[in-house]
A = this chain, B = another copy of it.
Amino acid sequence: MTNMDATLNSAAVPAPDRALVEALAVANRILYHEGVVDGFGHVSVRHDRSPAHFLLARNMAPALVTPADILTFDLDGQALDAGDRRVYLERFIHAEIYRARTDVVAVVHSHSPSVIPFGVSKTRLQPIYHMSSFMGLDVPVFEIRDSAGSGSNLLVGSPALGAALARVLGDRTVVLMRGHGSVTIGSSVPQVVFRAYYAEMNARLQSEAIKLGAVTYLTAEEAAASAKTNDALVMRPWELWKRKAMKLE
């Protein structure tokens, strides 16, 4: 029995599935190797045996995360087993989305580069192809000034700000954060990685398409039908990305 297991047991939270912890570590590395996160950004998953908890790495670059770096948090954003390890300032993004959205199993927060411009302009991020159909008709933007005024440090560093962000997310799959980044949610670790990757790709392609003239976006019906089809395919890129990310060890 490791220290982590001991700590969790003492808090009456069962240890998470080992395979889930490993998948979360892999997801951290994939997101780096595929250009969604750099030294910043994070991915979490809801605890498989305790829905009021979630798993998230300690404060570190995602590309370097191993299973030993994964901590367990409650929905107030408190780590059960951090010890003297630092935690992410924005763990409340995850905590409050898991609280507000019982259907959500996994969350990515990133500053993926092509998405940032859509968060600071009036142009809405919208799906231009089937790979990003999970975004629906378009993507809302969280303006932190509405909650924290015009002098904040832009971080979602409290439960109140996390809850405000979750309200703008609503029942969507992606929310942009003005002057900061974005959050993507999903029903599994591979799915949320798929979505974070293709949200970034859509932003890049939409930005180019706009320069070519009027754009034909997906209809709501196309987006819904296509998203359903794609949900069965998320393991295909995951296997590829996993092999790449782990080979570079």
Contacts and interface: CB of A to CB of B under 8 A. Distances in A.
Contact of A240 (B39, B118, B151, B153): B39
Contacts of A153: 130, 222, 225-226, 228-229
Contact of A116 (B128, B222, B229): B128
A212 B111 CA distance: 18
A151 B225 contact: yes
Chain A interface size range: 35 or more
Interface string A36-55: 00111000000000000000
A129 B209 CA distance: 21
A216 B120 contact: yes
Nearest to A203: B208
19 contacts: A39-B237, A39-B241, A40-B236, A116-B129, A116-B209, A117-B206, A117-B208, A117-B209, A120-B129, A120-B209, A123-B213, A128-B179, A130-B180, A133-B154, A151-B222, A152-B222, A153-B225, A155-B229, A179-B218
